[in-house]
A and B are shown apart, each in its own frame.
Chain A
C-alpha cells in the first residue's frame, strides 16, 4: 500500500516550534466552549456529544469528510442552526461565561458577537461595495458615526482596501470571487465580533485568493478567535493552531473523533481513523 501523504510534511523543526506555540495557546483563556452539543433534524440525529474548547486568539480548524456535520456544528455556535426547518439541539454553547441557548437570550445579540463568513461569497447584489461593508451596522440598527473611516478600517483588515478604495460606489457584483469573499469578511469585521466563524471560505476560490484570505486570518486572530471549517488539509495545517476531526460512520451521527493542537493531530494522531483521513487514505 502506498503511504505517500497528500501534502507536504513540515520539517521536524516546524513540528517542534508548533508544539511550543501550542503550549502557550493552551494556557490562553477559552473564548467559546461547546458542551455535549447534539443536533437533530426532525428525528435524524446528525451530531452527537461534541465537546470542544476554542482558545482565545487562535484559529481552530474543523476537518472531516462531507456530511459529517462540521457545517451543522458551526451554525450552532451563532444560533443560525435554529433557522433551518426541523432543527433541534441538545447541550450548551458557552460564550462569555453563559450558555447562548439560555431562554431569553436574543439570537441577534449572539450573532453580533459571533460573525460568520459563508462558503459561497454572498455580497448583497443590490448594494455597492461600500454599502456592503457597512450593511451590518444598518441591519442591526447601529449608529454609523464615520462611514468612510469604518469602511477603510474594515476593508484594510480584510486586505481589500487598496483594490477597491477608488470604486466604493460600484456594485459588489463587479468584484472577483476572491475579492467578494474578502468583502464578506470586511462586512463581518465592521461589527467587531469576538469570534469569527468561517464555513469553507476558500472552497470556491483560486489559490491566489485563498492565500490572501489565509494571510488575513493570521492577522485577524490577533484580535479575535477564528473557527474555520475546511476540506483542505494543507489549509488546516497552514492556518490553524487547533484541529478537530469530525467523522460520521455509516448510519451513525457525526462526532469528534479527535481534537487537539494541529501539528500533533496531523503528525501524531491518537486514533487510526484520524491518521487515515489526514493522510488522504479516505474521505
Chain B
C-alpha cells in the first residue's frame, strides 16, 4: 500500500451531512415561505421576501447551533444579518444606477457630448443638439473650485499638523462646522456677496467660489488625516539634517503624503460635482457654450438635468437621463483616475 501516491485537497471535501443541512436551509426555506405566503394573509412578492428572510434567519441560526458545524447562535445570526445588510446595500445601489444606465444608454448619442442646446427648443428630437456646453461648464467650474480649495485646504491642514499654532483648535472647529453648511447657503452667500451686490455677474467664477466653500472642509480634513500618517521620524530626520520647517514640509512631508493628498482632492471633487442648488444661484445655466468662466451664465450638468426635467416633455426628460448618465460616468472616471494615480505614487 503506497502512502504518498494519492493527492487530495482536504479543504475541498464536502461533508454530505453538512451539504444536506445547507440545502435544506437555503432551498427549503423559500418553498416554505412560498407556502406560507400563499396560504396566509401575507401577500405578494414583498410578503414572500419578508417571510423568507425571517425563516432563513431562524433556520440558519438553528443550524448553527444544532447542525453538524456547530457555532454559537450569535455568530450565525451575525453572519446572516450582515449578509442581508450587504444584499440590501447592493440592491439600493443597483436600483439607483440601473435606470440611469438603462435610460441614459438608450438615448445617448455621441454627438451629445460635443453639441450645445442653442438649437433645441421644447421637446426637440434627441438627434439635434447635446449637452457639451454643460459638460464643459461642469469641468470648468469644478476645476476652478479645485484650484481654489486645494491649496487653501492643504495649507490649513499643514497649519494644524505642522505649525500647530495657537489657532489650531479654532481651525479644527471651523473646518468641522463648515462641513455642515448646506449647499444652498453657500450658493446664497456667493450670490449675495458677489452678484446681488453688483460686483460680478452670473459666472463660472462665482459658481466656483460657492463650490469651494463646500469643498474646503472635505479637502482640509482629509489632508489633515493623511498628513498625520506621515511618521514623525521623517520630520525629525529632515530637521536634524539642517532643514527649516518649511523646507522639511516641502521636501519630505508633502511628498510622503502625496497619494493621500490626491485622495483629498478627489473626495473634494466628489463632494461638489453633483451640486445643483448653489449653481442655480451662481452659474444660472445657459443653452450654449460659454468659454469664459469670468463672465456670463454658464451651464453645468446638474443644472442642465434640473432644467430639462422641469420642461417635462418626453424628449427633454430623456435628455435629462442622458446628462445624468454622463455625470455618473464622469464621476466614475474621476474616481478611477484617482485610484490609478495614488497607487502609482505608492509604488514609487
Binding site for B on A (CB under 8 A): 78, 80, 83, 108-109, 111-112, 115-116, 118, 120, 122, 124-127, 135-136, 138-141, 171, 184, 187-188, 191
Most buried by B among A122, A124, A125, A139: A139
* B160 vs chain A, min Cβ distance (A): 14
B240:A124 contact, CB within 8 angstroms:
no
Task: Check B240–A126 contact: CB distance below 8 A.
Answer: no
Contact B240 A78 (CB under 8 A): yes
A120 in contact with B233 (CB, 8 Å): yes
A-B interface, 9 closest residue pairs, ranked by CB to CB distance from nearest: A139-B243, A126-B255, A140-B242, A136-B241, A116-B240, A112-B242, A122-B233, A122-B237, A139-B241
Q: Given contacts A120-B233, A138-B247, list 7 more A-B pairs with CB under 8 A.
A: A80-B240, A126-B258, A135-B241, A136-B241, A138-B251, A139-B238, A184-B237
Q: How far is the CA of A138 from the CA of B238 in the complex (A)?
A: 10
Is A136 in contact with B234, judged by CB distance below 8 angstroms? no
Task: Using CB atoms, name the residue of chain B closest to A110.
Answer: B242
Q: At the interface, is chain B mostly helix, strand, loop or mixed?
A: helix
Q: Known A122-B231, A125-B256; judge A135-B239 contact (CB<8 A).
A: no
- Please state if B234 and A111 are interface contacts (CB–CB under 8 Å): no
Q: Are B255 and A118 in contact (CB under 8 A)?
A: no
List of B residues within 8 angstroms of A83 by Cβ: 236, 239
Distance of A184 Cα from B242 Cα, bound (Å): 14
Give every chain A residue within 8 A of B96 (Cβ-Cβ).
none
B348 interface residue per 8 A CB criterion: yes
- 27 residue pairs of the A-B complex, CB under 8 angstroms, read A78-B240, A80-B239, A80-B240, A83-B236, A108-B243, A111-B240, A111-B241, A111-B242, A112-B242, A115-B240, A118-B233, A118-B237, A124-B234, A124-B238, A124-B252, A124-B255, A126-B256, A126-B258, A135-B238, A135-B251, A135-B252, A136-B241, A139-B243, A184-B237, A187-B241, A188-B241, A191-B242
Cα-based distance from A115 to B244 in the complex (angstroms): 15
Q: Are the CB atoms of B241 and A118 closer together than 8 Å?
A: no
Taking chain A's interface residues, is the majority helix, strand, or loop, or is none over half, making it mixed? mixed
Q: Of A109, A120, A191, which one neighbours B241 at CB under 8 angstroms? A: A191
Closest beta carbon of chain B to A160's beta carbon, Å: 17
Q: Is the CB of A139 within 8 A of B251?
A: yes
Check if B248 is an interface residue, CB within 8 A of chain A. yes
Q: How far is the CA of A191 from the CA of B237 in the complex (A)?
A: 13
* Bound complex: CA A13 to CA B63 (Å): 78
Q: Contact at B242–A136, with CB atoms within 8 Å?
A: yes
A122 contacts which of B234, B244, B255, B258 (Cβ < 8 Å)?
B234
Smallest CB separation, B255 vs chain A (Å) = 3
Among B236, B242, B258, B348, the residue within 8 A (CB) of A139 is B242
Pick the contact of B247: A116, A122, A141 (CB < 8 A): A141
Shortest B238–chain A CB gap in Å is: 6
C-alpha spacing A11/B234, complex, angstroms: 43
Q: Is A124 a contact partner of B256 (Cβ separation < 8 A)?
A: yes
Q: Give every chain A residue within 8 A of B243 (Cβ-Cβ).
A: 108, 139-140
Q: Are A139 and B233 in contact (CB under 8 A)?
A: no
Interface centre among B241, B248, B258 (most CB of A within 10 A): B241
Q: Which residue of A has the minimal Cβ distance to B230? A: A125
Contact (Cβ within 8 A) B248 A139 = yes
Contacts of A126 in B (CB 8 A): 252, 255-256, 258, 348
The answer on a CB contact under 8 Å between B234 and A139 is no
Known interface pairs A135-B251, A141-B247; A111-B258 also in contact (CB < 8 Å): no
The residue of chain A having its C-beta at the shortest distance from the C-beta of B235 within the complex is: A83
Chain A residues within 8 Å of B247, by CB: 138-141
Bound CA–CA A191/B241 (angstroms): 8
How long is the Cα–Cα vector from A171 to B348 in the complex, in angstroms?
Answer: 7
Which chain A residues lie closer than 8 Å to B252 at the CB level? 124, 126, 135, 139
Within the complex, the shortest CB–CB distance from A191 to chain B, in Å, comes to 6
Min CB gap B74→A, angstroms? 42
Which residues in B have their C-beta under 8 angstroms from that of A188? 240-241
Please report which residues of chain B, range 245-262, place their CB below 8 angstroms from some CB of chain A when the two chains form the complex. 247-248, 251-252, 255-256, 258
Bound form: Cα–Cα A112–B241 in Å: 6
- How far is B36's CA from A6's CA once the two chains are assembled, in angstroms? 78
Question: Which residues from B are CB-within-8-Å of A109?
Answer: 242
Instruction: Select which of A111, A127, A141, A184 is within 8 A of B239 by beta carbon.
Output: A111
User: In the complex, what distance in Å separates the CA atom of A116 from the CA atom of B240?
Assistant: 6
Give CA–CA (A111, B242) in the complex, Å: 5
Contacts of A141 in B (CB 8 A): 247
Closest residue to B240 on the A side, CB-wise? A116
* Cβ distance B299 to chain A, nearest Cβ, rounded Å: 41
User: CA A140 – CA B251 in complex, angstroms?
Assistant: 11
Given the complex of chains A and B, what is the CA–CA distance between A229 and B334 in angstroms? 50
User: With A and B bound together, what is the CA distance between A115 and B255 in angstroms?
Assistant: 23
Q: Which residues of A contact B255 (CB under 8 A)?
A: 124, 126-127
Smallest CB–CB gap between B250 and chain A, Å?
9
Chain B min CB distance to A171 (Å): 6
- Within the assembled complex, what's the spacing in Å between the Cα atoms of A112 and B243? 9
Look across to chain B and name the residue whose beta carbon is closest to the beta carbon of A115.
B240
> Within 8 Å CB of A127, what residues of B?
255
Instruction: Give the CA-CA distance A125 to B237 in the complex, in Å.
Output: 12
